[in-house]
Amino acid sequence: MKYSPAALLAPALHVEWQHVRKTLNFYTNGPADGVSSTQIRCYEADAADRGTVTTLPVSAGSTIGFAANGVVGHPGPASFYMAKVPTGQTAATWDGSGAVWFKIYHERPTITSSGLEWASTNTQVLSTKIPACIPSGEYLVRVEHLALHGAATEGGAQFYLACAQVSVSGGGSTSPSGLVSFPGAYKSTDPGILFQPYWPTPTSYTNPGPAPFSC
């Protein structure tokens, strides 16, 4: 599974790879290498394959979505992170390194007698709201789907992700704290990454990474 267009879900979908950095799996559907690889940040394609990505204007409090090539076919949570571009740099050139990322959403499962159910399963577009209170400026927005079908063994969880470049306007004055880095935010043994999704039937789930930021 790969993500291509970033869209403000109203009014329209954008051109493929117009605002989303082309991912290394642009010609396949393979996952990123793992939590200790730099691929876990934005899963970017090699420099020769990246092309030109433009920065999407968005309003604080608006909805942004990423369309998958196909549907989310594996069980597991969707998450979104953002990172503010440092002064003197641009979203077009910044690599997102360092402890700069804050989570804005993670999906929680529905607990049933037969296990965990995920609303993202079999959907094509994953979307979230840009927090209304964050400062205006340029950001990277990182979408992630963590596929848990093979997560019962260490290294078996699969990460599908991408980063979009956005310029937020109409923002507030709240700067999120508790920032994390990629790699660094996750360990391969975190309980939400090394996880038995089938048997014994799970009755709870702990999302990896920090708690989502809220205004």
Distance between CA atoms of 204 and 53, rounded to whole angstroms? 39
pLDDT per residue as tens digits for the range 94-106: 999 999 999 999 9
What's the pLDDT at 29? Answer: 78
Output phi, psi for 7, to 5 deg.
-135, 135
Which single residue is written with the structure tokens 């994390």? 180
Give CA–CA dist 140/21, Å, rounded.
Answer: 10
Q: Using one digit for the tens of pLDDT, what is the confidence trace for 130-148? A: 999 999 999 999 999 999 9
Q: What is the pTM of this model?
A: 0.93
Tens of pLDDT, residue by residue over 188-208, are 999 999 999 999 999 999 999
145 three-class SS: strand
pLDDT, mean of residues 39-48: 84
Measured CA distances, 38 to 98, 179, 191 (Å):
11, 17, 21
Task: Show the tokens assigned to 73.
Answer: 């076919």
Name the helix (H) or strand (E) containing 40: helix 39-42
CATH assignment of 3-169? Answer: 2.70.50.70
Which among 102, 106, 178, 174 has a CA at the least distance from the CA of 140? 102
